[in-house]
Amino acid sequence: MMVAALETPKAPVRLGAFQKPALRRADVRALARRRVRAGFDSAETTDNNRRHWARADALSADAAASPDVRRTLRNRARYEVANNSYARGIVLTLANDGVGTGPRLQMLSDDPGINHTVETSFHAWAQAVGLAQKLRTMRMARSQDGEAFAVLAFNPLVEHDVQLDLLLVEADQVATPWRHVPDLPAPRDTSRQAGEHEVDGLILDDFGNPVAYRVMKNHPGGTNQSFFDAYTTVSAPAMIHIFRQDRPGQHRGIPEITPALPLFAQLRRFTLAVLSAAEAAADFAGILYTDAPANGEADAVEPMDMIELERNMLMTMPGGWKMSQVEPMQPATTYAEFKKEILNEIARCLNMPFNIAAGNSSGYNYASGRLDHQTYFKSIRVDQAFTASRILDRALAAWLREYAVLTRNPVLLRALPPHQWFWDGFEHVDPAKEANAQETRLKNLSTTLAHEYAKQGLDWESELRQRAKEKALIRELGLSEVETVPAADDGDPEKGDDDDGNDTEEDTDE
């Protein structure tokens, strides 16, 4: 057998032989500046943009959303929502459109009997715990607080066989207590395992998954705050935590209306300025002046003196003096246009069109209104899917475990059965057009009854069974279907609204 001879290794090469000559710090900085200039224009820092980019930083997602930053944003967002009518209306509209009257469960297992029993019992439980109201509250909390928490816990006052409840917790209470409560010492790491770390109340494992949550028993802003036993640890499976994750590695949320907070303040300040200008013009405020030289023939008056004027009365002036009314120079005529533009900018960060944010569609035609609503309704559907996966599915899984024990049905203890959630549908702007488009889609088999009913938030099987009952009753009473159809209303005031909209495209789902 031949063995290849190994080459004699050469002398090791010194790293210094391949190193470039050492550069001075000034040369390195100059080289870095040249590289930046050779990149993108937006990366350059000039005298014109220096102040604009002064607050840009390289903080991580959790560092940027630090406890102090989130507390400040929460307080300001809550204040604005509590005192600004537009902010309150926008937040309420998001909750009402996204949740509506509440989700409805449809089980899709192979056993129709179990499906009907589970759906009926879950609906009764949802009514008992006020599930729809709690979902709307959590949606509002995401808008103004940035996040919402709910604990899956036992509640003996729930009027249902399954006494599971969603106990809502405000974001202020989920925190590392010894950072917020004075004189509360930090305990030893008895609740954390090796490799775990904490982000303001969230105990995370090595993979960034929440393991447990520290929940303060009393609100840090409440009057019944206690410094002893100030918090409890809730395991991750029992806690529902929702927020919009804008950056990788982000574990706590910031208010969704954060970009609009300065705009809300500007809108209120501009409104007060316009009102003050109008009041100044209406109050007949003015000044006395004279064209006579100093120590001239004009009567002597007390300088900087104030005279109260009465409405609808004439007044005599001192000799040689004239009165000039203060004219408001503030351009109040642009108030409506400014208000429209700033509301449009406010609503954009929430994917909400102007007419919904303002509650005013007077400047819209049929086509533009429908086009704006497409983006909004898509955003609502995304939010509903998020709510279904992050809240409803987890609540259903916990509820099924309790329900399976009560009914002694081990099948329900397995993996979460196939199911789907129905939400309230959105009414079409032109129902007649939508009905014709729906008929066309069904005829050319481009849609299904299940899909068409789902868009209205209805269960197609339940609706077909109801329709079968109606037809059977019609035949029993000897009536024709034409006689049971409600009379059409020909006096529709909205008819013809799309004449000026150049509406040439096909109807959308909405």
Maximum alpha-carbon separation in the chain: 133
Among 15-19, 30-34, 191-195, the least confident range:
15-19
- Mean pLDDT of the 157-179 span: 92
pLDDT over 70 (residue 225): no
List, for residues 375-386, the tens digit of each pLDDT value: 899 999 999 999
pLDDT of res. 311: 65
What is the average per-residue pLDDT within 387-407?
94
Please enumerate in sequence order all residues whose Cβ is within 8 A of that of 428, keeping only pairs 6 or more positions apart, or say none: 434, 507, 510
Number of neighbouring beta carbons within 10 Å of residue 350: 20
- Give burial (CB, 10 Å; 0-12/13-18/19+) of 234: buried
The pLDDT, as a whole number, for residue 429 is 66
Confidence (pLDDT) at 81: 96
Residue 420: partners with Cβ closer than 8 Å, 6 or more residues away: 106, 108
402: Cβ–Cβ under 8 A, 6 or more apart, which residues?
162, 163, 164
Instruction: For residue 242, list its beta bridge partners.
Output: 148
pLDDT for position 160 = 95
Helix axes of 131-144 and 112-129: crossing angle, nearest 10 degrees:
60
Among the listed ranges 62-66, 136-140, 334-338, 347-351, which one has the minimum average pLDDT value? 334-338
- Number of helices (H) and strands (E), helices first, in the chain? 14, 11
pLDDT grade, residue 508 (50/70/90)?
Answer: very low
Tokens read off for 236: 């991750």
Average pLDDT estimate for 314-337: 70
**Which pairing describes strands 210-216 and 202-204: parallel, antiparallel, or unpaired?**
antiparallel
The whole-number pLDDT of residue 2 equals 46
Using alpha carbons, select from 131, 138, 202 the residue that is nearest to residue 170. Answer: 138
Per-residue confidence at 285, pLDDT binned at 50, 70, 90? low
Summarize pLDDT for 233-263 with one digit per residue, the tens.
999 999 999 999 999 999 999 999 999 999 9
Residue 154 is predicted with a pLDDT of 95
pLDDT, tens digit (0-9, with 9 covering 90-100), for 196-217: 688 999 999 988 899 999 999 8
Is the torsion defined by CA of 394, 399, 402, 406 positive or negative?
A: negative
The pTM score is: 0.76
What pLDDT, in 10s, does the model give residues 409-442? 877 777 888 999 999 887 776 677 777 877 888 8
DSSP state of 13: P
Contacting residues for 320 by C-beta, under 8 A, at least 6 apart: 290, 291, 292, 296, 297, 298, 299
Would the pLDDT of 510 be above 50?
no
Between residues 179 and 221, which one has the greater pLDDT?
A: 221
Q: Per DSSP, what are the bridge partners of residue 214?
A: 233
